[in-house]
Structure 1
Amino acid sequence: MQIKTAAYLANVLQFLIDHKGHRAGKLVQAHILRTNQFANTFLVNRLIELHSKCGDTAAARRLFDQMPLNNIFSYHAILNAYCKLNDLDNAYELFDRMPEGNAVSWNLIISMSSRNGDREKALGSYYSMRMSGFLPTRFTLASVLSASGGLGNVECGRECHGVAIKLGLDTNLYVGNALLGMYVKCESIADAVVVFKDLPQHNEVSFTSMMEGLVEGDRIDEAFDMFRLMHRVGIIDCVSLSSVLGVCSKSAVEEFLVNDGNEKGLKMHGKQIHGLVIKLGFEGDLHINNSLLDMYAKHGYMECAEMLFNSMLEVSVVSWNVMIAGYGKQYHKEKAVECMERMRNCGFEPDEITYVNMLAACLKSGDVEAGLKIFNSMSLPSLTSWNAILSGYSQNEYHQEALMLFREMQFRKVRPDRTTFAIVLSSCAVMGLLEGGKQIHAALLKAEFCTDLYVTSGLIGVYSKCGNIEAAKHIFNTVPQHDIVCWNSMLSGLSLNSLDKDSLNFFQQMLGKGLLPTEFSYTTVLNCCSSLTSLLQGRQVHSLIVKNGHANDVYVGTALIDMYCKCGDVDGARQFFDMMPSKSTVTWNEMIHGYALSGRGDDAVNLFGDMIHTGFKPDSITYVAVLTACSHSGLVDAGLKIFNSMQQAHGLEPLSDHYTCIIDSLGRAGRFSEVEEIIDKMPCKDDPVIWEVLLSSCRVHANVNLARRAARELFRLDRNNSAPYALLANMYSSLDRWDDVKDVRGIMKEWQVSKEPGYSWV
């Protein structure tokens, strides 16, 4: 057989590399060995490259280890094979053995480290490469920027940006897209916008990265503008369509504006994106259809979602999961169950997300038992499932059961995360379970979660609600860095424990630290001003609210009205009330109650009429407020009319508080015949407050017979309560009926009832 020349064999091997001719390559390798050409490093390097290209890395490594002389290309060939296989251990071992590296070997190792999530290693290798005197290429920079974004290390990213500018690579599309991605992941959207504008050209990746970054930065309108620009230049693919549908899903308002060239705004909805999908011929794409389903489901358009789902030629487990989640969001538990059954009948096996969505559907509908049944049917629930069932228990006020489930979770050796701890701490806080909170605190210390801000807020809440404010302060002070949630938890805890001055001082410290208060912060501090009746501080907080743009928030506005009313400035409260762009039933209630506290019954009744006229439905608290106003202002007939309208006009059953108000109103006016009619009909005859109010009125008007009846009812409910004895005795003494006074005192002595002595509180 004629011996082939090295040049000829090299050409043959290159052909086989290009066409992945592995079997023929083995024959060439046998010929090289047989003809004693194994010492030719160039040919062996070609063979190593062939084996690597064909996926036989073991054969490539054997050749590498057996060849008499390795050079840099030999190392690169086998290193490239390991990097393609993501074989980190062998790649690092080989890289460390290299006598000398160059830019190619550094790029290979940096790229592999970044791709496999070993970002710290990627950055370390990059800095070592720079110290070795090698300049990065566009591939190096792209890998390092990806690693920086994954770590949220914006400083390293900016340094790479500077290197890219120095090397003239900042305008390279590949590097530019990597820069965009890095700034987006580091939540530095302003820098991402600058990079985008400076790129001489853009592709689908540039637009999609920018759009997703704007969404993460809650700049929804700008994200839609970015899609508009994509549409204008004709760069739209499946990924960008899925991304804009994701924007529609996240947007609270599903419509946005698209200019038509004549600068006229046309409303464009998620449904019109659906139309564009069909127009561009993407209606068969499963990923886009799933994004459409998600968009319809999240906005509650389940009929549209059903129509789309039924028309899809191909569905996946994701499609079924989106439908189940959509039904759960709309509290349609039965439809969610039916959808899961259909899913199984169609041959799809539910996954973890399916079960979590079903859990959420049951728990949102308040069916905790059904949720627990689904949870128990899971062979090995994940931490997400545990958190879902715990959250459902907590939200439905099954706090004791939530804690028991948390214990079972520990017995099963499922390691809790920050969400788990936050849920169980919330349940402990609601129950006032200090010992349980301490035990969870101990578990947090063991799990090293105590510096987690999310968990810290929960701990502060537990200790605050259990009255141990010093422990709450200690936890707050031990955390090295605080977010606004932590500050709010501490503010709320101080207010809850009636430390209103401390809470105001704490609020000032918070402002001094440069933190922007939230609506919750303002509501809490306004409640403190109300408790201290400090109108001056309340007005200062009001100015701050207006300055920071929270004056239109309905919760903050309601707290402001409450503050002004309790500080005596009812007209100031009404002025702000009239300026509010949106009101809730609670807002109306506060204003009516403010008039009641100030004895302005006519204003309260008129405002109650305005409330009904504007379409707001009064609740039981509204009626307590307006009936209290009528009672304090002597508007008996108006109060009686309002009381009778509760059931007739609004279908509300009067509660004991409402009976107390109307009986007080009639009793003050001495209309006891009407009082007796109401008492005979009312269902809440075991409420002592009603009888005490009646007895007090009888004492004022000297109605002895009705007073005795009220006293008998109070003795029946609690014969050790000294208040009815004192009221009855005082009434008899004012009428000079001393024998009756003596009888009352005799009964007190017989039943060993002692009256607490009065004292003056200055």
Structure 2
Amino acid sequence: MDVTRIVTAIRHCGRIRAFKTGKSLHSHLIRHGSLNDVFIANNLIAMYVDFSILNDAQRLFDELLHRTVVTWTTMVSAYTKLGSPHVALRLYTHMLEAQSERPNGFLYSAVLRACGTVGDLEMGRAIHSDISRDEWEYDTVLMNALLDMYLKCGSLSDARKVFDEIVVKNSTSWNTIISGYSKEGDIVEAKNLWQQMPEPDVVSWNSLLAGFANKQSHFALGLVSMMHQKGLKLDVFAVPCALKTCGCLRLLGMGKQVHCYVVKSGFECSCFTLSALIDMYSNCSELDAAVKLFDKYLSCKSSSHDSLSIWNSMLSGYVVNEQHDAAISLVSQIHSSGTHMDSYTLSSSLKICIDLHNLKLGLQVHALVVVCGYELDYVVGSILVDFYARHGNIRDALGLFWRLPKKDVVAWSSLIAGCVNGGSNSFAFWLFKEMIRLDIEVDQFVISSILKACSSLAEHKSGQQIHAFCVKIGYELDQVAVTSLIDLYSKCGEIESGLALFEYVSEKDTVCWTGIIVGCGQNGRAKEAIGFFRKMIKLGLKPNEFTFSGVLSACRHAGLIEEARVILKSMKSEYGLEPQLEHYHCMVDLLGLAGLFKEAMELIAEMPFEPDQTIWGSLLGFCGTHTNTELVDFIAERLIAISPEDPSVYVRLSNIYASLGLWDDSNMVRQAIKEMGIKEAGRSWIEIRN
């Protein structure tokens, strides 16, 4: 029997995936008793691996009386390659326990790939010790595999130690470590290593380029220009990086130049390049150009099964440009085409439902998520938790949260924010403590939600503890956390602490300035609030609706009518902001307090929308203060028309009539109150010392 010819035939069957022929050859070898030859058996196992039939490969492996290190290596590699790295690691562990074979460089490389795939850093370090014990440090290929494993397990420091210990570094060694630093965001060290590399190749350039692109740095485009000048061909990896940078920095002109290069180079058919082009035009607000490219692609393709990335880019473009109806239509189109949606498609669809506050549509997308098998995916699952929490459905949000096998900070943050918004502050605190206990990274949004809970309960002590925690984890200068802390101290009457914190922050955005303006207004320091408002404008920051609410509220508390008039007028004339009901309410309050009823009524008449119960109720109170009997009946009619079944309206009317000496009217209203029922007493929450 010619073993060489048989093995050649087996390998050929595996290479061309000739399943029936390979199976027949296997049967022939069984009949002739040739499977005792481990060389033939190893090649048969490799053939079944090429067929992606692991069950037959495993069965043959189990039947072998004698296995070599090649046999084990083939199976470990197969399980890793075909998506079962955990099985590969168990198989390797079994071999070590049985002490049947001593690993060689190929087996070490195979099992290191499995460790990197599952992120098993502990086992990877154990294998590293075995490699050092067996003195394999001079095997550059194996050391590169070890380097790659550490990077995939997220241990850049271990990877750097391995890199420094490699005696003979090849291009793969350099490219792997440069890519590692780029992905980690340490672009300075990545560039430093790139400059030390003897002869950077295209992979080296692309690794550095990807790092700059992820940082949204102009240097990415400079690097592309250098590559072009040096005669390095920009490939389907470099071009998308350049387009990504153009889109992030909104450099439309440069993006169009790269598009011209794409057309000349014939890269338009590449899914990655076309996706990057659609992203670039969408991010530059040129949605029509993105749609044109997308439609052109669809008209040329009979099937969309291989182009989900392009669909996703177009979906992202619609979302970025707030074209929600078009986005929903595209999701429906993807579903109808039979294309299997991925995590990105489904998470984008859920974000649209969140933006639209559309519960019904969100439930339909949730059903689609379940059908596609992504309900427990940590990205999609986290957004589902956020969706239900934002709709106040904490029960369903919590049910999904506990079922998620992997809970990221988005899931925790969404649930905590939902609990705080729904008034379940104690449970929000418990979740926050669980995050700390489980050593889950707490971000500024979680901090903001917990501080909001402290503000709602006037929990000054708890707020101080959270402040200390912010300092400990390095968020003491984060603007989201700082603004929340200022809000907490303001609501707890500790405005001096809020002012000190505000002055401590070097870079302040509009939200931060708004926080201190509102805080000063709430604590009776109106002139300081107005001073901060003017200083903010002088620094070139544009106030928003909340800023105006804060400064107008401060004017109301201090009775500063003229300042309020000027500020309200400037909202539209200088900043293009349409005053909302709360802004008019502040002004009506001020005018009513000063007894300027005619001007107050004129302002109400000029409002672009109908006044609500709050505005009429406020003006009614001032009628009692200034003994204005002329307006009372008019306002009473408006209030009853707006809230005919609200007992508090009638109680207030009765009291006003009584204060004005209109006893008949007061008695008539009291009779109406009796018919409607008794008003329940309100409640307040305060923090007291032990």
Give per-residue Cα distances to partners, 1:74-108, cap 9 Å, x unaligned.
55565666666666455545544544333344444
Structure number with bigger Rg: 1
Q: How does 1:459-538 map to 2 (within 5 A)?
A: 488=413, 491-492=416-417, 495-498=420-423, 500=425, 503-504=428-429, 507=432, 511=436, 514-538=439-463
User: Alignment partner for residue 254 of structure 1, among 217, 227, 232?
Assistant: 217
User: Alignment partner for residue 578 of structure 1, among 484, 496, 503?
Assistant: 503
Secondary structure of residue in 2 paired with 1:383? coil
Q: How does 1:482-631 map to 2 (within 5 A)?
A: 488=413, 491-492=416-417, 495-498=420-423, 500=425, 503-504=428-429, 507=432, 511=436, 514-631=439-556
In the alignment, structure 1 residue 123 sits paired with structure 2 residue 89? yes
Aligned position for 1:314? 266
- Cα distance change of structure 1 residues 746 and 94 upon mapping to structure 2, 3 Å threshold: closer
Q: How does 1:357-756 map to 2 (within 5 A)?
A: 357-378=313-334, 379-384=337-342, 385-407=345-367, 413-418=371-376, 419-433=379-393, 437=396, 441=399, 450-454=403-407, 488=413, 491-492=416-417, 495-498=420-423, 500=425, 503-504=428-429, 507=432, 511=436, 514-721=439-646, 726-727=651-652, 729-731=654-656, 733-734=658-659, 737=661, 740-746=662-668, 749=671, 756=678
Q: How does 1:70-469 map to 2 (within 5 A)?
A: 71-75=37-41, 88=54, 91-130=57-96, 131-216=98-183, 218=184, 220-221=185-186, 223-251=187-215, 253-254=216-217, 269-283=219-233, 285-312=235-262, 313-315=265-267, 316-344=270-298, 351-378=307-334, 379-384=337-342, 385-407=345-367, 413-418=371-376, 419-433=379-393, 437=396, 441=399, 450-454=403-407
**Residue type at the aligned position of 1:336:** A
**Does the CA-based 8 Å contact 2:454-2:488 persist in structure 1?**
yes
**Does the CA-based 8 Å contact 1:721-1:753 persist in structure 2?**
no
**Residue type at the aligned position of 2:164:** K
**Residue type at the aligned position of 1:647:** K
Q: Give the number of equivalent residue pairs.
A: 663
Q: How much has 1:556 moved relative to structure 2?
A: 0.5
- Cα distance change of structure 1 residues 499 and 209 upon mapping to structure 2, 3 Å threshold: same
Give per-residue Cα distances to partners, 1:114-153, cap 9 Å, x unaligned.
4444434433443454434432211111111112222222
Residues of 2 paired with 1:68 and 1:700: CA distance?
109
Q: How much has 1:523 moved relative to structure 2?
A: 1.7
Q: How much has 1:236 moved relative to structure 2?
A: 2.1
- Cα distance change of structure 1 residues 209 and 254 upon mapping to structure 2, 3 Å threshold: same
Q: How much has 1:559 moved relative to structure 2?
A: 0.7
Residues of 1 paired with 2:600 and 2:348: CA distance?
52
- Cα distance change of structure 1 residues 242 and 759 upon mapping to structure 2, 3 Å threshold: closer
Q: How much has 1:212 moved relative to structure 2?
A: 3.2
Higher mean displacement: 328-337 or 58-67: 58-67
User: CA RMSD, aligned part only?
Assistant: 3.5
Residues of 2 paired with 1:92 and 1:524: CA distance?
52
- Cα distance change of structure 1 residues 145 and 610 upon mapping to structure 2, 3 Å threshold: same
**Residue type at the aligned position of 1:660:** H
Q: How much has 1:165 moved relative to structure 2?
A: 0.7
Q: How much has 1:178 moved relative to structure 2?
A: 0.9
Give per-residue Cα distances to partners, 1:303-341, cap 9 Å, x unaligned.
323312322322123211221122333443322111123
Secondary structure of residue in 2 paired with 1:599? coil
**Residue type at the aligned position of 2:324:** V
Higher mean displacement: 725-734 or 160-169: 725-734
- Cα distance change of structure 1 residues 561 and 238 upon mapping to structure 2, 3 Å threshold: same
**Residue type at the aligned position of 1:358:** M
Secondary structure of residue in 1 paired with 2:296? helix
Q: Give identity over the alignment, percent.
A: 24
**Does the CA-based 8 Å contact 2:381-2:404 persist in structure 1?**
no
- Cα distance change of structure 1 residues 591 and 173 upon mapping to structure 2, 3 Å threshold: same
Give per-residue Cα distances to partners, 1:400-432, cap 9 Å, x unaligned.
22213444676xx54343355544444333334
- Cα distance change of structure 1 residues 46 and 632 upon mapping to structure 2, 3 Å threshold: closer
Residues of 2 paired with 1:382 and 1:157: CA distance?
35
**Does the CA-based 8 Å contact 1:453-1:486 persist in structure 2?**
no
Aligned position for 1:20? none
- Cα distance change of structure 1 residues 414 and 485 upon mapping to structure 2, 3 Å threshold: closer
Residues of 1 paired with 2:682 and 2:260: CA distance?
77
Secondary structure of residue in 2 paired with 1:617? coil
**Does the CA-based 8 Å contact 1:207-1:226 persist in structure 2?**
no
Higher mean displacement: 76-85 or 421-430: 76-85
Q: How much has 1:631 moved relative to structure 2?
A: 1.9
Aligned position for 1:475? none
Residues of 2 paired with 1:73 and 1:561: CA distance?
74
Q: How much has 1:600 moved relative to structure 2?
A: 1.8
TM-score by length of 1: 0.78
Residues of 1 paired with 2:59 and 2:128: CA distance?
31
Secondary structure of residue in 1 paired with 2:637? helix
Give per-residue Cα distances to partners, 1:622-650, cap 9 Å, x unaligned.
22222222222122222222223333332
**Residue type at the aligned position of 1:415:** G
Residues of 2 paired with 1:286 and 1:389: CA distance?
28
- Cα distance change of structure 1 residues 416 and 558 upon mapping to structure 2, 3 Å threshold: same
- Cα distance change of structure 1 residues 199 and 348 upon mapping to structure 2, 3 Å threshold: farther
**Does the CA-based 8 Å contact 2:240-2:277 persist in structure 1?**
no
- Cα distance change of structure 1 residues 372 and 60 upon mapping to structure 2, 3 Å threshold: same
Q: How much has 1:113 moved relative to structure 2?
A: 4.1
TM-score by length of 2: 0.85
- Cα distance change of structure 1 residues 728 and 345 upon mapping to structure 2, 3 Å threshold: closer
Residues of 2 paired with 1:92 and 1:502: CA distance?
50
